[in-house]
Amino acid sequence: MQLYRAHVLVCGGTGCVTSGCMDVHAELEKQLEKNGLSEEINVIVTGCVGTCDIGPILMVYPEAIFYQKVQVEDVAEIVEEHILKGRPVNRLMYQDKTSEIAEFIEKYYDIDFFNRQTRIVLRNTGVIDSTKIDEYIARDGYQAIAKALTEMKPIEVVEEIKKSGLRGRGGGGFPAGIKLELGHKADGDQKYMICNADEGDPGAFMDRSLLEGDPHSIIEGMMLASYAIGANQGYVYVRAEYPLAVDRLVTAIKQAKEYGLLGDNIFGSGFNYSLDLRVGAGAFVCGEETALMHSIEGLRGEPTPKPPYPTDAGVFGYPSVINNVETIANMPQIILNGSDWFNRFGVENNKGTKVFAVAGNILNTGLVEVELGTTLRTVIFDICGGVPNGKKFKAVQIGGPSGGCIPAEYLDTPITYDSLTSLGAMMGSGGLIVMDEDTCMVDLARFFLDFTQEESCGKCTPCRIGTKRMLEILERITEGHGQPGDIEKLEELAESIGDSSFCGLGRAAPNPILSTLRFFRDEYEAHIDGHKCPAGICKGLLNVEIIEDKCRSCGICARICPVNAIAGQRGQPYVVDQDTCTRCGLCIESCPFDAISKH
Amino acid sequence: MQNVTLTIDGRQVTVPEGTTVLNAAKELGIDIPTLCYLPKINEIGACRVCVVEIEGARYLEPSCIYQVRDGMVVKTNSHRVRQARQINTELLLSDHAHDCLVCDRNNNCDLQDLAARLGIREYRFEGVKNEAEIDDSSESIYRDPSKCINCRRCIAVCAEVQGVHALGAAERGFETGIVPAQHRPLADISCVNCGQCTIVCPTGALTEVSHVTKVARALGQKQKHVVVQTAPAVRVSLGEEFGMKPGTNVQGKMVAALRQLGFDGVFDTDFSADLTIMEEGTELINRIQNGGVLPMITSCSPGWIKFIEHNFPDMLPNLSTCKSPQQMFGALAKTYYADKMGIDPKDIYSVSIMPCTAKKFEITRPDMDSSGYQDVDAVLTTRELAKLIKSAGIDLATLPDEEYDDPLGISTGAGVIFGATGGVMEAALRTAYEVITGEELPKLDFEMLRGLKGVKQASVQVGDLTVNVAVAHSLVKARELMEKIQSGEIDDLHFIEIMACLGGCIGGGGQPRSDDPYVRSKRISGIYTADKDMKLRKSHENPAVQQLYKEFLGEPNSHKAHELLHTHYIERER
């Protein structure tokens, strides 16, 4: 085995790829070559490290120096200074943005964002090269399935998962062990295990990062679950919008086959297993399990009634168990380390960890894995650094378009399935969007309704038409045309749609409205009754006006206005034509005298 | 099967396991409204109108598909249920054309009935509506998507009963709609025009292409000699539109009504059905005796013809070359009848009353102008005739019975049974037996060919020859049979009758809509009663047909008969 003096990890997650890490990687190889270091320095492209807004990211081991926002032109300096001469480049190190003075933090493990996380599911992402099966194996990979196939009966795997208390990470929180048990007990020679990788919440990328960063853990988890229920065929249903994830999975499956980890008579146990990808066209509703199954069958992705439940009659009519990516990724660790070990993480009824994709008005955007029961405050403020630009925290939206928002007074709520539900939000798949005081909550509800409305499969009346009507009401409120009675109409529709829709998409579609109404009803009233958007977001309710006393009639605003809505002449205050003005705000920013206001 | 006991609205009911809440409620006389539900065909729980509250369930559940459990407690009428039911109906109305007064389905619309029943008195949730173009490309089916409520009954009947798959759901969200395959106009796809979708459509989104105005205009033109033929199946269903029981034979009243409407000659397609037996029977005997292509398949059903043209083009040589009775009549009306009456055929306007929407397409097919003019000018479905009669203020029920005109109104029982599945085959066998053996058929009723079984097979001894026959109705069953023939699983058949619609013409796409689950059986028994009551029950005994051959055609399959009464088929893409 070749030994290296140092390892340079290049984050190859989708976020960093977008910010140009592949060019940085190429430059790194070039510079190492140039300096004759290729033989002693090992460069590894990893999965997502988690801090997506500060990529491209490089980490240099053994020192664990963390470099952020590395540009191609920085690479030579890192190679020459740090790698060749042992002098880490300070200016490229991670900066603690919460601190008053710009403080550089050298070491990966000194960064709050990382050291407060508990990484079970993400233990390999950002650490190993996911295109190399050996790296997964070196991190205990495929030991759990080896243990299961050689030492455990299928029912024992079921029991171990049951004892672990693992709950479905896709949103509903259904106990994963019970699902396996139902699959195990189902009659049938043919059964299917399905991994739901149809992650579709806006802003969510937990599953994608996992598939990209540690695809073998999904393969191993699928093998365990399949062995437990008696399936010899598995499908990973992944959306076509995740080309990198698809690519990494295809590579991983190919390698696993080459190593005899997929195929016939695995580990000489007699267990045969085949795993295939099914690439979906990215319909949100295909996250619903019956819709997903129909999509696999080649039909239109639409839910069908339950019963029959998938464990009785699933894909092609055969018993099938469907679990989310993150749920499956937990299984190898549980089998390997035992349910008692897993039980040490989390709180009562909510064992283990949960991965969140944190986005919005937050200092550190990225992927965070914490123990269940951790408070929202810890995640948002301690790990992710809180709200930037001195703005006030207003609320956090959890659970994506099916979830709800939670305002500041509940920041100390421990994150559990039940606590979130009781607050009108939901765990969902783990999307977490932080909002500052400049967020209009009516507009937020409108945004999510716009999404669900388009993603409805159109099968049932309440979801097909009802979500559209709710969206229309929200649109007219945010455009300044709200009418008395609109709130009541929204409530009436929301209740009925939530109660009578066919599947989870429609049932949860009103949640963003209901939860914003619950905590921010006054904002709705301000829009409708007061014709005001308190956050100053809804353009239809804003007037841009020039304050006569302050205007020096310099004319800058008139020149910068893209729609020529401002006119005036020297010596007299300028005037904004409200009909033409698009409320873009450029004039406000450009005025040297603060003479323009938006209200 | 075990029984389970449950409580619905505070009352207990015991029903077999597997029963739906909807049907269990029915046992108690509780009528839960439904919209998308079509028993056994469309059980998808999509419209959410039939939702009920199940104790212990988090959400409302659709009673049409939700199965009962022992001890279940159901509320069908709670505030929560009524609220959801009403809002879902209001939502449907909010994306529906508001032109009820001028809609084909005014006063005969499931959505209108539901809105009335729920007492909806205002449009509360107005917003944008889906705008989709009207599809009037088809000769038979008119599609107005602005009235579609996405119940998907049409998709289900087209796929499950007919196996045609001409319609499907497309797009997502609010824009979701029901569209013809590949988003092409109905006329350009493998739609066979059977019209089953127009029967199951709860609103006016799918209707027949109306010929009512055309016909009314012709009736008003003095120089036009307007003749009408009525298909066998119409007489046992028209009464339903006037409140009578399915199967009631209103032949005499219908004839009287047609005269009152101003038709100059009122004739019977049964006559040309008898003629079809002569032509088709002769063709079959020729094929058997001279080594022609077998099995021979009937060609009366235009939906079936288009289906085989699309799906089994290799089997077109198996089709009888005979035109359908409608088209045989049409060809004769403007030749034989015109000669006889001394009327210039250009002044004859030929109307047919059909239980069928595909007949509207059939009149436009090539070869259907062998008289030198379009042989049949307009086709009214049973439903359209009822509208015409009602609009004229004619009270069908009280009209005294009248007889058809001579000679194209004379028929036998063999003609009338064309209206039911198995009827053409039975009629053919009655004649073939006697023509071939020269002996009288001991028993006229071929019971094994009757009834609603999807595919019926029989072997009939005709002299030395054992004739193997099969009868199929509904295109799913037709496909099944064709595939078995192609695969060689069935290889000994001589003659096959196929009707596109379930039950034969009595179940045609132009027939009255009915919520009677036994409507087909009742109409069928009306047909066989009519047959029993006839003096003559064998086509070759029809004196008017005999006279026609003597005076005009010569003999069956003569050159002239071929010119007027036979046709060709077209290979169509799938």
Contact, A40 vs A6, CB < 8 A?
yes
Biggest CA–CA distance in chain A, Å, is 92
Residue B139 pLDDT > 70, yes or no?
Answer: yes
B47 in the same domain as B110? no
Quote the CA–CA distance of A284 and A400 in Å, as a whole number. 11
Dump pLDDT digits (tens) for A409-426.
999 999 999 999 999 888
Indicate the SS3 state at residue B499: strand
- Give chain B's domain count: 3
pLDDT of residue B566: 97
Dump pLDDT digits (tens) for B63-103.
999 999 999 999 999 999 999 999 999 999 999 999 999 99
- Where on the phi/psi map is residue A149: left (φ > 0), alpha (ψ -120 to 50), or beta? alpha
Helices (H), A240-365: 243-258, 289-296, 325-337, 339-343
pLDDT of residue A102: 66
User: CB B532: neighbour CB atoms within 10 A?
Assistant: 12
- Residue B487 pLDDT grade (very low, low, confident, very high; cuts 50, 70, 90): very high
B340 in the same domain as B319? yes
What does CATH list as the number for A347-436?
Answer: 3.10.20.600
What does CATH list as the number for A133-343?
Answer: 3.40.50.11540
Q: B177 has which bridge partners?
A: B170
The domain ranges of chain A are: 6-111, 133-343, 347-436, 441-528, 543-598
Residue B241 belongs to domain spanning: 213-565
Quote the CA–CA distance of A597 and A98 in Å, as a whole number. 30
Dump pLDDT digits (tens) for A330-346.
999 999 999 999 999 99
B382 in the same domain as B531? yes
Task: Choose the weakest-confidence range: A201-205, A260-264, B256-260, B331-335.
Answer: A201-205
Contact, B430 vs B537, CB < 8 A?
yes
Which among B208, B223, B241 is the end of a domain? B208
Quote the CA–CA distance of A427 and A362 in Å, as a whole number. 19
pLDDT of residue A282: 78
Would you call B48 and A462 a contact, using CB atoms and an 8 Å cutoff?
Answer: yes
The 3 state secondary structure assigned to A478-502 is HCCCCCCCHHHHHHHHHHHHHHHCC
Dump pLDDT digits (tens) for B384-400.
999 999 999 999 999 99
Quote the CA–CA distance of A465 and A474 in Å, as a whole number. 14
Nearest CA in chain B to A499: B59
Q: What is the CA radius of gyration of chain B?
A: 25
For residue B274, is it within any domain?
Answer: yes
For residue B574, is it within any domain?
Answer: no
The arrangement of strands across the sheet holding A233-239 comes to A263-266, A271-280, A233-239, A192-197, A320-324
Indicate the SS3 state at residue B301: coil
Dump pLDDT digits (tens) for A38-53.
999 999 999 999 898 8
Residue B1 pLDDT > 80, yes or no?
Answer: no
* Mutate: best of B60, B72, B90, B91, partner A, most A CBs <10 A: B91
For residue B573, is it within any domain?
Answer: no
Would you call A496 and B88 a contact, using CB atoms and an 8 Å cutoff?
Answer: yes
Quote the CA–CA distance of A161 and A371 in Å, as a whole number. 18
Picking from A403, A395, A593, the residue whose alpha carbon sits closest to that of residue A504 is A403
The residue among A13 and B53 whose pLDDT is bigger is: B53
Count how many pairs of residues, chain A against chain B, have C-beta atoms within 8 Å.
Answer: 111
The arrangement of strands across the sheet holding B495-499 comes to B296-297, B495-499, B465-473, B455-462
Lookup: tokens for A30: 């070039």
Residue A101 pLDDT > 70, yes or no?
Answer: no
B220 in the same domain as B195? no
Dump pLDDT digits (tens) for B212-223.
999 999 999 999
Would you call A459 and B51 a contact, using CB atoms and an 8 Å cutoff?
Answer: no
Quote the CA–CA distance of B529 and B417 in Å, as a whole number. 10
B243 in the same domain as B185? no
pLDDT of residue A203: 82
Dump pLDDT digits (tens) for B523-550.
999 999 999 999 999 999 999 999 999 9
Dump pLDDT digits (tens) for B267-312.
999 999 999 999 999 999 999 999 999 999 999 999 999 999 999 9
Task: Say what percent of chain A tops pLDDT 90.
Answer: 78
Strand B348-354 vs strand B378-381: parallel, antiparallel, or unpaired? Answer: parallel
Residue B574 pLDDT > 90, yes or no?
Answer: no
B392-427 burial: b if 16+ Cβ within 10 Å, else e = eebebeebeebebbebbbbbbbbbbbbbbbbbbbbb
Chain A contact set for B177 (CB, 8 A): 458
Lookup: tokens for B132: 């989709």
Chain B contact set for A499 (CB, 8 A): 59-60, 80, 84
Peptide bond preceding A56 in cis form (omega within 30 of 0): yes
Task: Say what percent of chain A tops pLDDT 70.
Answer: 99
Quote the CA–CA distance of B248 and B226 in Å, as a whole number. 27
What does CATH list as the number for A6-111?
Answer: 3.40.30.10
Strand A41-46 vs strand A6-11: parallel, antiparallel, or unpaired? Answer: parallel
Lookup: tokens for A592: 């040297």
The residue among A285 and B469 whose pLDDT is bigger is: B469
- CB-based contacts of B508, cutoff 8 Å, min separation 6: B194, B195, B233, B354, B355, B356, B357, B382, B501
B39 in the same domain as B116? no
Long-range CB pairs of B128-137 (<8 Å, 24+ gap) are B128/A468, B128/A472, B129/B94, B129/B95, B129/B96, B129/B97, B130/B95, B130/B174, B130/B175, B130/B177, B132/B177, B135/B180, B135/B185, B135/B186, B136/B209, B137/B185, B137/B186, B137/B187, B137/B188
Residue among B172, B174, B177 whose CB faces A465 most closely: B174
Task: Choose the weakest-confidence range: A79-93, A578-592, B235-249.
Answer: A578-592
Peptide bond preceding A175 in cis form (omega within 30 of 0): no
Would you call A464 and B150 a contact, using CB atoms and an 8 Å cutoff?
Answer: yes
What does CATH list as the number for A441-528?
Answer: 1.20.1440.230
B144 in the same domain as B185? yes
A316-348 burial: b if 16+ Cβ within 10 Å, else e = eebbbbbbbbbbbbbbbbbbbeebeebeebbee
Contact, A217 vs A191, CB < 8 A?
no
* DSSP symbols for B401-453: P-PPPTTTT---HHHHGGGSTTHHHHHHHHHHHHHHH-S--S----GGG-SS-
End-to-end CA distance of chain A: 68
Quote the CA–CA distance of B400 and B432 in Å, as a whole number. 37
Helices (H), A266-313: 289-296
B428 in the same domain as B293? yes
For residue B570, is it within any domain?
Answer: no
Dump pLDDT digits (tens) for B234-246.
999 999 999 999 9
Quote the CA–CA distance of B35 and A295 in Å, as a whole number. 26
User: CB A100: neighbour CB atoms within 10 A?
Assistant: 6
Residue B544 φ then ψ, to 5°: -70, -35
Would you call B127 and A472 a contact, using CB atoms and an 8 Å cutoff?
Answer: yes
Quote the CA–CA distance of A509 and A130 in Å, as a whole number. 36
What is chain B's mean pLDDT, rounded? 96
The CATH number assigned to the domain holding B501 equals 3.40.50.1780
Helix (H) or strand (E) holding A10: strand A6-11
Contact, A214 vs A124, CB < 8 A?
yes
Would you call A461 and B47 a contact, using CB atoms and an 8 Å cutoff?
Answer: yes
Chain B contact set for A462 (CB, 8 A): 48, 84, 87-88, 91
pLDDT of residue B176: 96
pLDDT of residue B209: 98
Quote the CA–CA distance of B141 and A436 in Å, as a whole number. 57
End-to-end CA distance of chain B: 44
What is the identity of the amino acid at A270?
G
User: CB A309: neighbour CB atoms within 10 A?
Assistant: 15
* DSSP symbols for A40-92: TEEEEEES--S-GGG-S-EEEETTTEEE-S--HHHHHHIIIIIIIT----GGG
Peptide bond preceding A562 in cis form (omega within 30 of 0): no
The CATH number assigned to the domain holding B190 equals 3.30.70.20
Chain B contact set for A492 (CB, 8 A): 83, 87
B220 in the same domain as B356? yes
- CB-based contacts of B24, cutoff 8 Å, min separation 6: B6, B8, B13, B15, B68, B74
**Cα four-point dihedral sign B506, B511, B516, B522:** negative
Nearest CA in chain A to B46: A460
B100 in the same domain as B78? no
- Residue A510 pLDDT grade (very low, low, confident, very high; cuts 50, 70, 90): very high
Contact, B258 vs B229, CB < 8 A?
no
Chain A contact set for B67 (CB, 8 A): 307
Please determine, for the modelled complex, whether the ipTM score is greater than 0.90: yes
Would you call B169 and A467 a contact, using CB atoms and an 8 Å cutoff?
Answer: no
Residue among A304, A307, A466 whose CB faces B91 most closely: A466
For residue B572, is it within any domain?
Answer: no
The CATH number assigned to the domain holding B45 equals 3.10.20.740
- Residue A242 pLDDT grade (very low, low, confident, very high; cuts 50, 70, 90): very high
Dump pLDDT digits (tens) for A365-387.
889 999 999 999 999 999 999 99
Q: What is the mean pLDDT of residues A427-453?
A: 93
- CB-based contacts of B185, cutoff 8 Å, min separation 6: B135, B137, B138
For residue B356, is it within any domain?
Answer: yes
Q: B305 has which bridge partners?
A: none
Distance to chain B for A153, nearest Cα, Å: 35
Picking from A323, A316, A311, the residue whose alpha carbon sits closest to that of residue A221 is A323
A426-458 burial: b if 16+ Cβ within 10 Å, else e = bbbbbbbbbbbeebbbbbbbbbbbbbbbebbbb
B361 in the same domain as B268? yes
Quote the CA–CA distance of B345 and B374 in Å, as a whole number. 10
Lookup: tokens for A514: 């209901």
For domain A543-598, is the CATH number 3.30.70.20?
yes
pLDDT of residue A589: 87
pLDDT of residue B278: 97
